[in-house]
Amino acid sequence: MSESEVAHKHEPETVATNDNKPAVDNAPQCETVETHDSEPVPTDVSHTESAVTGHEKPACKNGSPTKTAVTTVDKSAHKDKLETDTAAANYSKVKSLPTADLTETVAKHYNQLQESGLEERTKSRIFYMRNFNNWIKSMAINDILTRIGQKKSHGAEVSVLDLCSGKGGDLLKWRKGQVDRVVCTDIAGTSVEQSEGRYKEMLDRASHERRPQKIFKADFITADCTKQRLRDLYKDPELKFDLVSCQFSFHYGFESHQQAKQMIQNACECLRPGGYFLGTTPDSNELVKRLRASEDMSFGNEVYRVEFETPDKTQLPLFGAKYNFHLEGVVDCPEFLVHFPLVEKMAAEYGMKLVYRKPFADFFAEHIRKGDGRGLIGRMQALEPYPPAEEVDLLAKTSDAYTHARSYLDAHQADKQDGRPFANTKVGTLSKDEWEAVSLYLVFAFQKVEETARVPTSLDQAPARKRPVTDPEDNLEPSSKQTRTLS
């Protein structure tokens, strides 16, 4: 899904740590970044300095160049990693719980989502959080496309499968990444139509540019990628991808073992050797940790709420561990825990090797100093200025929402480099509640290290289907005719 649909669909130099305990025990704390009112309002803050601990925030809606002071991440949250062979202490030996088929529920939910205008999005309580999540996606996609480009011969095509593509929120990323071909798939037909409409608008605008840039070829498919083999739906069943991207949607496939297998098959089987599977998904370790710290089967704050439907928080199945996720103004949809060591094992059957699996906080700390990370986080307005500009209200209203930012400012009463007074200093940050929501997520990347025929394992009930033989077509041209596919 696009960042507008799923907003839940986010070692710095200096860190501002929030000493007040978060709403959930051991929840990661927030960070901040400094700015100076005397400086002009930037459209690109790549030149600004950044002080970040665990999580950095961008600069700066209605603000000036920004230094970021960010709260540190509680590393202990990730020390208790689930072990693949033991199925982990967080999970029971029950393979899956029986659940009602929620495919139609998910499709209906996203079909009914209304497009919101820029002004409305700007007023959203999670405006900065959504932009932060989008920044994570942008940096991750750019990182993988850079790796692909370094291995490609000059002029070789780059093909992408945008799995669970939603309304086309990443189309511009593919254009900026200069890819040659994209297949967009989603379960929600309305979203696919909107995505195709955005693509046609992109083509139309490009045709009127003085120096028109090449736009990638695209195909759009409406289908359930947890139940349908996408390869059977491609115009060319022999099509190979350099990158498969699944953003904030991978967890929908873990309603059952069979659906998870189909999702992973769709993500991996058509990758070229050396190709990547990139995704973002809720961190099951963090979800279970917060669940067990709660008094009942739910936890959250004013921005998000998670409510589990499993009968026992100490006995969670590998598949079908259902919870309802509500994100302020955006998401209210059933989801499923993703036991990541199991994902590694299932992906290995397709010759896939894990490249990295990182909580958003760690990914942020690493990439804020890479390439255009700092400039992009400013241009995308992914951090909230604190204190706010005159006549501008902070989005969060609770008294402790910006304690981490205040603490950072108190600790740096003057700029050590030029002695400018504390009164002119601002920081860019996320509120405590937003940071707690952002820190529920991780970003991962697999690489296909070998072309291998999938071998059935003990998890299987039947051998894998053989690939159908079909006459390939040369091009994937955009078509108004809808083919069946998913988001």
Output the CA angle 264-269-275, nearest 5 degrees: 100
DSSP 46-58: TTS----BSB---
The annotated binding site for mRNA is made up of: 133-134
Task: Tell me what pLDDT residue 452 has.
Answer: 65
In this predicted structure, what is the pLDDT of residue 367? Answer: 94
**Residue 41: C-alpha distances to residues 97, 389, 412 (Å):** 54, 11, 22
pLDDT at position 114: 53
Q: Look up tokens 């400086």; give the residue.
A: 39
In angstroms, what CA-CA distances link 321 with 219, 295, 315, 336?
34, 19, 10, 5
H or E segment to which residue 409 belongs: helix 403-411
Alpha-carbon gap, residue 487 to 127, rounded angstroms: 23
Residue whose C-alpha is closest to residue 69's, from 27, 45, 40, 35:
35
Look at residue 20 in the predicted model and tell me its pLDDT. 35
Mean pLDDT of successive 10-residue stretches along the chain, which has 487 residues:
40 31 41 40 29 33 41 38 38 47 54 55 87 98 97 92 97 97 97 97 92 92 97 95 98 97 98 98 98 97 94 92 88 89 98 98 92 91 93 91 92 62 76 97 96 54 36 31 30
Residue 326's DSSP bridge partners are: 305, 332
* CA atoms within a 13 Å half-sphere pointing along the CA-CB vector of 167: 15
Contact 357, 47 (CB under 8 A): no
Extract the tokens encoding 50: 């950044």
Q: What is the pLDDT of residue 418?
A: 56
Tokens representing residue 287 in the block: 């979800």
Strand positions, DSSP E, 109-263: 159-163, 181-186, 217-222, 241-247
Give the predicted TM-score (pTM) of the model: 0.74
Please report, in range form, the residues annotated as the binding site.
133-134, 137, 164, 186, 224, 247, 252
Neighbours of 232 (CB within 10 A): 13
Return the C-alpha torsion angle 472, 476, 480, 485, nearest 10.
70
- Give binding residues for S-adenosyl-L-methionine as ranges: 137, 164, 186, 224, 247, 252
